[in-house]
Amino acid sequence: MSSSGSWLSQGTILHADLDAFFASVEQRDDPALRGRPVIVGGGIAMAASYEAKACGVRAAMPERIWRPLCPDAIVVPARLSAYSQASKDVFAVLRDVTPVVEPLSIDEAFLDVSGLRRSYACPREVAERIRAQVRTQVGLPISVGVARTKFLAKIASAHCKPDGLLVVPADEAGFLHPLPIERLWGVGKVTAEKLRSRGVRTVGQLAALDERTLTQALGPAAGRHLHAVANLRDPRPVHTGHRRRSIGSQSAFGARPRGEADIDDILTRLVDRVTHRLRDAELRARTVTVRLRWADFSRATRSRTLAGATDSTAPILGAARSLMYDVWPQAVDRGLTLVGVTLSGLDPRGSEQLLLPLDDVRRDQTRAELEQAVDGVRQRFGTTALTRARMLDQDVGTQTPVLPVSES
């Protein structure tokens, strides 16, 4: 084993990110798809293999855009259970290496490997083991960035994709500052346009601006955040076991016209799903948020805070429907392509305050017993084993799998 100098010269935070996750699972399970352009989802590209990305295909593209770019693409239906299982298998590998794992999504996580000095020569060696074990045990490629901070580690993993490993050098500014501003985590299209209109194109140029200028241009929160990370300040540790702040699910579908009944079916199934997960985690929610995406890629968000925290489907569905009420005409006319439902303001079950009138207590108990029975059936036989009668044989889009609440 080498001296401790290797540990001193390298950061101890890793960002592990699976490559083209959904498409890679499909290529793993079907050898005929390997090396070929694969699109998961169809009407709306839920994911694309790197062969399809090379043609310009990106996630969330409708078929009318991706089809001319990649006419030879092979379209496969989404298999949510396969992706969820692959995610669990990968996280098992990560936690076998170190218990200090912070999941970010179904396919990426931060790790703190500072406690492994006695077992490995350097952080790079830890990253190499992770990549090898994910490949051999799960059969998937994974890119890993190694750095002193979470922010740099995430940039490094994106920089070395696909199927790569990058250790940020000791000259962090030399690595970060030449990069375009779009590489920064948190700089989207709108923010990038604002910065470029001021002549800011690289992270180094951004770092040279004073914080006040950035907060005036981008707002206090975004301005302070980008000023800090551009100047290599990111003190955030890797957290494990912290309480989840929200539970959500979304459904993407093609841009073909959908009536109010179709959209309400999609909304209802999403609420069924998130409230099941809410009860499974023994949590209650106070705020309901509905997220929408239109055919022109514009987005809208609506939120409502309930009178009290609940884990019951009926009041949450009622709130979600009321949020949709004002946008029904737009949903039909503009071509809705995605609906998402997120529950936040989470509290542990048992912490809620009873509300008057108390005459409804028995009715609420009956409803809770029914929901528990439905949850039990779905838990044992799958989420599609029991559904609402009106949703039989209905196309409700492609739902995106997410991390179980207990793993966040």
The three-state secondary structure class of 51 is helix
The pTM (predicted TM-score) of the whole model is: 0.72
> What's the mean pLDDT in 247-274?
83
Q: Compute CA 122 distance to the chain's CA centroid, rounded to the nearest angstrom.
A: 30
Share of the chain above pLDDT 90, in %: 55
Q: Count other C-beta atoms under 10 Å from residue 389's C-beta.
A: 5
Residue 7 neighbours by CB under 8 Å, 6+ apart: 117, 122, 123
- Has 108 been annotated as catalytic? yes
pLDDT value at residue 246: 82
Least confident of 25-29, 154-158, 197-201, 348-352: 348-352
115 near 100, Cβ under 8 Å? yes
Q: Check whether 2 has a pLDDT greater than 50.
A: no
Interval 349-388: pLDDT, tens: 654 444 445 445 445 555 555 556 555 555 555 555 555 5
CA–CA dist 300, 293 (Å, integer): 7
For the cut 70, the answer to whether the pLDDT of residue 153 exceeds it is: yes
Pick the catalytic residue from 108, 260, 369, 407: 108
Query: In 3D, which of 331, 352, 339, 334 has the Cα closest to residue 268?
Result: 339
Given its phi and psi angles, is residue 289 left (phi above 0), alpha (psi -120 to 50 degrees) or beta?
beta
Segment 281-290 mean pLDDT: 90
> From CA 69, how far away is CA 76, in angstroms rounded?
17
Tell whether the model's pLDDT for residue 4 goes beyond 50: no
